[in-house]
Amino acid sequence: NAGVTQTPKFQVLKTGQSMTLQCAQDMNHNSMYWYRQDPGMGLRLIYYSASEGTTDKGEVPNGYNVSRLNKREFSLRLESAAPSQTSVYFCASRPYGGSTTTGVGFSYNEQFFGPGTRLTVL
Amino acid sequence: GENVEQHPSTLSVQEGDSAVIKCTYSDSASNYFPWYKQELGKGPQLIIDIRSNVGEKKDQRIAVTLNKTAKHFSLHITETQPEDSAVYFCAASKVSGTYKYIFGTGTRLKVLA
């Protein structure tokens, strides 16, 4: 059980290049999220997917697109990278789409985070 | 828009002392408040959470208190140890719909041996 995995771990891009950040979870979770983390600004939500087949914008969606490929995978695409997109990107997943209690060991509202992708845009 | 303020941004304590981190939220409809710990080079991990129908929750050396009227909630760590050194984030969320979190800006805690 690997939890939430992200690839790549590190990436350097030139301005204008495109790339896709991959995220997968093996916990059968319904909801998935993409955040960016910048110094002094905490984690800000870029996009989220409440369930397979749905996606929606978060706080800072400009310059990004997402695809919920299936229940396991949620990718983040930068079509034309800009230096302002230099950041650490985290993917997260959450077990349930509703408000019922979760299984043993879970807080029913907990989001589980991947290890992050450090992206630098030159 | 919705906002969560977190203070202090850095906190140094001697090993064995207590540490307190405070957060204030703006959306009165928020009713779920998790705290995450992030170690260097890793993703955040939930350490404790509280729902709005509870005023305090404790788990061994960590506790969270909530004042709904003032829209404040705090993390308390007692008998701090070097392994408590990390960045701590508070967040606010609503128990409905998509469960989006609004995170605070983080507190870097250093426990000095």
Per-residue model confidence as pLDDT tens digits over B70-80: 999 999 999 99
DSSP-assigned beta bridge partners for residue A118 = A10, A88
B46-70: pLDDT as tens digits:
999 998 888 899 999 999 999 999 9
What per-residue confidence (pLDDT) applies to A97? 53
**Chain B interface, best mutation among A32, A33, A43, A45, by max B CB count within 10 A:** A43
pLDDT at A109: 74
Q: Cβ–Cβ of A56/B98 closer than 8 Å? A: yes
Nearest-CA distance B34 → chain A (Å): 8
- Relative to beta strand B72-77, strand B19-25 is antiparallel
d(CA B64, CA B111): 19
Percent of chain B with pLDDT over 70: 95
Q: What is the pLDDT of residues A20-64, one digit of tens each?
A: 999 999 999 888 999 999 988 889 999 999 888 899 999 999 999
Q: Which residues pair with A36 in a beta bridge?
A: A44, A89
The pLDDT of residue A102 is above 80: no
**Chain B closest CA to A43's CA: distance in Å?**
6
- Is the pLDDT score of A107 beyond 80? no
The residue type at B80 = T
Q: Does B40 touch chain A (CB under 8 A)?
A: no
